[in-house]
Chains A and B, each alone.
Chain A
């Protein structure tokens, strides 16, 4: 049985463990009394907060139960926020305002202690905005614009097509794609320009890079750029995330450049390096977003993402990296759409991950956490009467925060027909601020919307469906075998087709498209921000200069790299050297000579 099969068993076992404890709490009087005591203790320690109107509320909402069996079901089956199995949240107080007025049940009745002035919130905003356009300096300017009012600088970087496919801006036929849909990065010098003016080693800075196929090369360039600007000691302080999710590329997004096994090996090389040298870096973002956007059902999204995650864990452990070292450095990225499954999809995923990691991989508490970035669904947005997209995104945001996501990106309403403009980006970001800061939904009380009977029903149903998917993948020989068999890919394509058919048939209402359509102009005519030819030429010229300057050194570095790859050693340290003097395309090309190219699945 593969690890995934063991995960299925561990969940079944854990569910049985919960049921046994529910029964025991009811039959074993002493155990029941203990639980009740613990429950009352927990309740007594919950601080009370006051809303702006003066209404007192507990900072943590718990179900109103006083029967030992139900208490056992809650404590073991769900866990308090921040407690195993983390159904209600990875941390204790996620979006809560810092305490201004402290009361507790013990002190209830006494006048609240007021601090003279409410302190400014100090925690990081969960907002992370995605950006990337034209050349590195253009994106850099956008980064500075986006972060001008933020205490913490969390940059999320989109790359252009040539970069995502690991080729250079001077490659045949890519000229028009330079800087389109993301930033063009060819060399370490571009990487220096990209984050210019930001303090990469600061605890208030983190960079996220959305790239998978050539991720280890781009990672090496980022490290090289940081070293150029801040010296070699900065490496251990670097914070951020690189996507590097090969499985989802093969399953859904098609941005794979090396054969699967070679890609996984380069990934593991990188993870081995970062877990040792860069303790604050997330070297992989296990992503369901693109699976969801490619058309999967919510359950497929969660099932494939989680099983991919377990497959990575198995791979890293097989390399000899300890689970407590790599486990806390894994992060997840899920889509949140309008389907009802999203009421609890991330909650259930967090629980499955925690149980699987603890029981099958022997992970300690920090390695059990599914740390989640959510993005609202791009696919749910449409061009027709596009202002409706604000409402769609707002509803998705509520769902995302109901699931206690750790960070979130909200899409711009103009996304279906253009590269998001500043106006709509701003509205999208403010949507989150309105929800978290202005509205009282999430800032006073943890669990504010958790645990409704409907949510419980969705949880049970979704968990069962995810486990069924796990069983099917296990039957096919595990994740890698299933991927090579195109299993996930066909399932996703099939679901996508069904979705479109449902829209066409009107079974799936899309307001303004197949319902309440008032004949308004379909697509607003917009002026797109395009990379001017001059800028594209500049990128090509700069690259030529870089290549000329480093020609000899590049040849030497590439030879050395090829040798290490041939010998099967960890190639990441040599990749770091190569990134100093070689372009992305040079490195990709040389690696492909050694390991081959990815053969597309159609």
Chain B
């Protein structure tokens, strides 16, 4: 089976009109398309960087408050400059885009503009028809980001095609993962949905970028595929600090695999781990009690379990497998009323393990939260 189509959608800078794109995103994923959603008020640089890293087939831009001719043109110009001519651009918007504008935009390289009143069906058909064919021959990558992105796509497509594991081109050099990942620390974040993993990672990234003026970090984030095989990969929309040239982020859909990761995750992670980053962060989808997404003695060196104080009764804690395995347990949203009880109960639960597990309280949504500082310190301890 072929890989689902991956596209990226966004609303331009200084524009907060996200209601149309929200509806369109849902329609796309219902029809088997994987949508990396970047959110509203996004700069040309952020959009192009994300599109290249995610190696999407096309960028869909929903523009409502003017300046679209320039904005679309700048996106296309930057894509070309970065050697990503194969990423197409389409878009639409409200009444501010006239037919004359659309003609100008198409001349400048935009594939299509959808006007108000276009049916969702028409848009979905368009995307499937124009961006659905496999890209067989890729042009040579012009940047490290692009090269890495192409390889990750190759790995994902290989898995989707059912050819198991390790294709020659992408992974032949990973004979010995241990030696390959020297200098790179791989950290796994997992935990139930809604615990705040994404925000927490973004805050850790912010601290990393501030502390290491030249350091680089990679994030492999996961979101579940829905029944129609599409997926809304929305982590980037809230990760405001991770939209940075020193951050390589890739969003993956689980594509039918249970347990919080994708069939291609292991190979993708192996590739990232030997690509010269200081850190590689992997984020699972929201997991259940029995989940243990990271293999023992695998590439993931340190694991962080992010919990919400509202996990239910004390008894529930006994069933969470990751509480035995995680190196660091974080109680996020520790400003909630229940946080103190949660801390005490989890502390007791960890004591049974008699391992050197650490427990940290954070409020990731708070700027400069001392709990996140502590987490970052713990993570960076021992690495270079």
Docked-complex contact A599 and B45, CB < 8 angstroms:
no
For B58-74 the 0/1 string (1 means CB < 8 A from A) is: 00000001111111001
Docked-complex contact B237 and A602, CB < 8 angstroms:
yes
Take A174-B13, A525-B99 as given contacts and tell me if A294 and B19 are in contact as well, using a CB distance cutoff of 8 Å.
yes
Does A177 sit at the interface, judged by CB under 8 A?
A: yes
Interface residues of B in 340-366 (CB under 8 A from A): 365-366
Take A174-B67, A525-B98, A599-B238 as given contacts and tell me if A162 and B365 are in contact as well, using a CB distance cutoff of 8 Å.
no
Q: Which residues of A contact B116 (CB under 8 A)?
A: 383, 416, 523
Total of A-B residue pairs, C-beta within 8 Å? 114
One of B13, B16, B18, B240 near A177 (C-beta < 8 A): B13
Q: Which residues of B contact A419 (CB under 8 A)?
A: 96
Does A528 sit at the interface, judged by CB under 8 A?
A: yes
**Docked CA distance A77–B74 (Å):** 60
Identify which of A164-172, A230-238, A270-278 touches chain B.
A164-172
For A244-283 the 0/1 string (1 means CB < 8 A from B) is: 0000000001110001001000000000000000000000
For B13-41 the 0/1 string (1 means CB < 8 A from A) is: 11111110011000000000000010111
Q: Which residues of A contact B131 (CB under 8 A)?
A: none
Docked-complex contact B117 and A602, CB < 8 angstroms:
no
Q: Which residues of B contact A523 (CB under 8 A)?
A: 95, 115-116
Docked-complex contact B95 and A161, CB < 8 angstroms:
no
Interface residues of A in 142-186 (CB under 8 A from B): 160-162, 164-165, 167, 171-178, 180-181
**Docked CA distance A165–B14 (Å):** 6
Docked-complex contact B199 and A599, CB < 8 angstroms:
yes
Take A493-B19, A599-B199 as given contacts and tell me if A161 and B240 are in contact as well, using a CB distance cutoff of 8 Å.
no
**Docked CA distance A161–B70 (Å):** 14
Docked-complex contact A497 and B23, CB < 8 angstroms:
yes
Docked-complex contact B67 and A259, CB < 8 angstroms:
no
- The residue in chain A whose Cβ has the minimal distance to the Cβ of B199 is A599
Docked-complex contact A254 and B74, CB < 8 angstroms:
no
Does A438 sit at the interface, judged by CB under 8 A?
A: no
Q: Which residues of A contact B96 (CB under 8 A)?
A: 181, 418-419, 528
**Docked CA distance A262–B365 (Å):** 12
**A residues contacting the other copy or chain, number (CB 8 A):** 46
Does B133 sit at the interface, judged by CB under 8 A?
A: no
Does A100 sit at the interface, judged by CB under 8 A?
A: no
Interface residues of A in 572-602 (CB under 8 A from B): 595-597, 599-602
Does B367 sit at the interface, judged by CB under 8 A?
A: yes
**Docked CA distance A493–B18 (Å):** 10
- The residue in chain B whose Cβ has the minimal distance to the Cβ of A256 is B16
Docked-complex contact A172 and B45, CB < 8 angstroms:
yes
Take A294-B19, A595-B367, A600-B40 as given contacts and tell me if A177 and B14 are in contact as well, using a CB distance cutoff of 8 Å.
yes
For A526-563 the 0/1 string (1 means CB < 8 A from B) is: 10101000000000000000000000000000000000
For B231-251 the 0/1 string (1 means CB < 8 A from A) is: 000100110100000000000
Docked-complex contact B13 and A173, CB < 8 angstroms:
yes
One of B12, B39, B66 near A600 (C-beta < 8 A): B39
- The residue in chain B whose Cβ has the minimal distance to the Cβ of A162 is B14
Does A19 sit at the interface, judged by CB under 8 A?
A: no
**Minimum CB–CB distance for A568 against chain B, Å:** 14
Interface residues of B in 193-208 (CB under 8 A from A): 199, 202
Does B149 sit at the interface, judged by CB under 8 A?
A: no
Q: Which residues of A contact B202 (CB under 8 A)?
A: 599
Interface residues of B in 113-138 (CB under 8 A from A): 115-117
**Docked CA distance A176–B73 (Å):** 10
Docked-complex contact A526 and B98, CB < 8 angstroms:
yes
Does A295 sit at the interface, judged by CB under 8 A?
A: yes
Docked-complex contact A262 and B367, CB < 8 angstroms:
yes
Docked-complex contact A180 and B65, CB < 8 angstroms:
yes
**Docked CA distance A255–B17 (Å):** 9
**Docked CA distance A177–B74 (Å):** 13
Q: Which residues of B contact A417 (CB under 8 A)?
A: 95
Does A321 sit at the interface, judged by CB under 8 A?
A: no
User: Which of B's residues lie within 8 Å of A, judged by CB?
Assistant: 12-19, 22-23, 37, 39-41, 43-45, 65-71, 74, 95-96, 98-100, 115-117, 199, 202, 234, 237-238, 240, 365-368
Please list the 9 inter-chain residue pairs (A to B) with the smallest Cβ-Cβ separation, ordered nearest first.
A176-B70, A161-B14, A254-B16, A180-B66, A596-B367, A176-B67, A177-B67, A417-B95, A173-B44
